[in-house]
Each structure stands twice: as C-alpha cells, then as structure tokens.
C-alpha cells in the first residue's frame, strides 16, 4: 500500500540518543523517497536539502540576527523543482531553457510540455 504524504514525524516521550549513523540512514531513506518521486515525475527534481536541527525563526529574524534552532529536533527538509535538463515535448529544448525558468529563454515563447520518458 502506498500513500501520498508531505511530512513524516517521529516523536519520543523522552530524550533519546541519535547517532551519526542514524542520521545518515534517515537521510538515505529521504533520498530513496525523493528518487522514487523523480522516477515517477522525471521532469521534476527532488532532494534532501536541509538536514540538521530544525530552524525556529527562519522567517521572523532580521538580517543581522542569528538563526535559532530547535536543538531537540533532528530535521530533514526535502526540496522540489523543475528538472532543468528534461526535454520539452513540443520544441525538444531543455526545460531550463523555457521562460518559466529564465528570462530571454532560448525556447522563446514555447509553453513547456514535458516530453515522455525516453524509449
């Protein structure tokens, strides 16, 4: 059975020890899930982008203030975006060469449509 989710959570009632090996294995699990997403959506890219203590004030702190972190929470945040190298089914140019990714796009006004998987 599979499910679509956007977050995984593990909560312990008391403080527990997390080793470097545990952290690597959790990162490997997140990477494996990201890879499966990419396999199903080859025109997209996903990866574990933020690994470590969970930030608490990333949106509220000023430019000259240090970030604060939840020292009791190990966090992995995965990011997702276009696969810039995936070809367009209309013009065959890379997705990153289209106007939704860059200005003065080599693909001109082509409205990017993902090409099917390679044969």
The whole-angstrom separation of Cα 53 and Cα 79 is 17
Mean pLDDT of the chain: 89
pLDDT of the residue at 50: 84
Question: Which uninterrupted H or E stretch holds 31?
Answer: helix 20-40
pLDDT of residue 115: 92
Could you report the per-residue pLDDT of 103-116, keeping only the tens digit for each? 999 999 999 999 98
Task: Answer whether 0.85 is exceeded by the pTM.
Answer: no
User: How far is residue 32's CA from residue 116's CA, in Å, rounded to a whole number?
Assistant: 23
Contacts of 18 (CB under 8 A, 6+ apart): 74
Distance from C-alpha of 75 to C-alpha of 16, rounded to nearest angstrom: 15
pLDDT along the chain (119 residues), means of 10: 86 93 96 96 94 73 74 87 96 96 95 82
């Amino acid at each position: 059975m599979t499910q679509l989710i956007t977050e995984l959570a593990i909560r312990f009632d008391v403080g527990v020890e997390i080793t470097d090996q545990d952290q690597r294995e959790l990162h490997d699990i997140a990477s494996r899930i990201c890879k499966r997403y990419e396999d199903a959506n080859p025109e997209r890219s996903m990866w574990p982008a933020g690994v470590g203590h969970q930030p608490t004030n990333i949106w509220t702190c000023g430019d000259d203030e240090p970030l604060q972190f939840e020292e009791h929470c190990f966090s992995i945040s995965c990011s997702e975006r276009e696969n810039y190298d995936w070809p367009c089914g209309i013009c065959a140019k890379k997705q990153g060469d289209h106007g939704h990714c860059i200005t003065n796009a080599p693909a001109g006004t082509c409205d990017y449509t993902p090409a099917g998987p390679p044969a």
